[in-house]
Amino acid sequence: MTLNPYALASLHAPMYLTAKRSGSGRVAQLGAVYKKVGFRSLNGSYMQAVNGGGGAVTFNPNYQSSWETFVLVNRSGDTLNSGDKIQLVTNDLNHYVTAEGGGGRELVADRSNGSIWETFGIFKIAGPGPILNGDKVALQTYNGKYVQAINGGGAAAAAGADNISTWETFTISIQDATPPATTPEPAAPSTEPATTNNTASTSSSGTVTDQSPSLVDSIVNLFSPASSMPASSPSQSSLLVGGPSGSAETSFLKKSFNLFGVAIPYYVPIAGLVGIYLLKKRRR
């Protein structure tokens, strides 16, 4: 399986790799854990790979951006501990930070492969234990020299110190903190009532009920006095066609009932019943 190392640029949590990448930019290493880090010197300057990699390393800007962000490769496990052996890869993901000669000379970022000159021991100034965001650390080269920010920052980076002092002490920023888990908020209930072809209303409990009168109810209501139905009744407005809701003056011929979504005048079924009655009477 081939891995695209540019996926490392969006790391937000430690990432284990199970395969190596072929071709240029060989950043992926079997079983390694990657963290995005930065190193701030005594006077507030950050370690910088000039042009993002492929050249010199300095301690120059007082802010951390892409050139000042490195991928820390740790094969010791998820937790970064004092004494772990690490490698630093530049933002372009194609160059390793190198202590020329294994230490005692300048620091550069122009190697495409990591070996012993590109391997550093990282030590927590406060003593043994996990290294966390904001801790003060020192970086030791292969031959025992320490990385230093010349003049405490604002100049070149070197790896020639024999002991840890202020120039060799850096504040590490670790950007791989896993965001806290969040519980999704429940979706707000819809305030839009359900609609059907028939007349409907929503009860106070939110249940949609059909208010269209049945055929039987409509015939019964037909022979009921208009004043017996409350003006606020929703059934009355559905029975009144051609007049204002609640009007007792609506003519009999304008009254209708709802049958399968179709308004049927009351006189139609009544005329049918009368016709059936007359036919049966003639047959006798």
Q: Is the pTM of this model over 0.75?
A: no
Distance CA 70, CA 258 (A): 74
pLDDT over 70, % of the chain? 60
**140 with 33, same domain?**
yes
Structural domain that includes position 249: 200-283
**93 with 20, same domain?**
yes
Say which range, 44-58, 75-89, 202-216, has the weakest mean pLDDT.
Answer: 202-216
Domain assignment present for 228:
yes
pLDDT at 240: 38
Supply φ then ψ for residue 62, to 5 degrees: -95, 25
Domain assignment present for 183:
no
**107 with 236, same domain?**
no
Give the residue with greater pLDDT, 109 vs 22. 109
| Residue 167 clears pLDDT 90, i.e. is over it | yes
Taking a C-beta distance cutoff of 8 angstroms, is the pair 226, 239 a contact?
Answer: no
User: What is the count of structural domains for the chain?
Assistant: 2
Mean pLDDT of 195-218: 49
Give the residue with greater pLDDT, 186 vs 8. 186
Mean pLDDT of 102-120: 95
**38 with 148, same domain?**
yes
Domain assignment present for 189:
no
Domain harbouring 134, CATH code: 2.80.10.50
pLDDT at 192: 53
Say which range, 68-82, 95-109, 269-283, has the weakest mean pLDDT.
Answer: 269-283
Domain assignment present for 253:
yes
**166 with 39, same domain?**
yes
Mean pLDDT of 126-153: 96
| Residue 92 clears pLDDT 80, i.e. is over it | yes
pLDDT at 176: 60
**279 with 218, same domain?**
yes
| Residue 222 clears pLDDT 80, i.e. is over it | no
SS3 245: coil
pLDDT at 283: 73
Say which range, 130-144, 173-187, 270-284, has the weakest mean pLDDT.
Answer: 173-187
pLDDT at 189: 57
Rounded mean pLDDT of the chain?
73
pLDDT in tens, 22-53: 334 445 555 578 899 999 999 999 999 999 99
**64 with 111, same domain?**
yes
**117 with 212, same domain?**
no
How sure is the predictor about 187, in pLDDT bands with cuts at 50, 70 and 90? Answer: low
In sequence order, what are the residues at sequence separation of 6 or more whose Cβ sits closer than 8 angstroms to the Cβ of residue 138?
122, 123, 125, 146, 147, 164, 168, 169, 170
Distance CA 172, CA 151 (A): 19
**21 with 154, same domain?**
yes
Mean pLDDT of 12-20: 34
pLDDT at 126: 95
Give the residue with greater pLDDT, 92 vs 192. 92
**38 with 135, same domain?**
yes
Domain assignment present for 115:
yes
CA distances from 203 to 29, 147, 179, 200, 231 (A): 64, 75, 44, 10, 18
**121 with 228, same domain?**
no
pLDDT in tens, 225-280: 444 444 444 444 343 344 444 444 445 566 677 777 677 777 777 888 888 888 87
**216 with 157, same domain?**
no
pLDDT over 90, % of the chain? 46
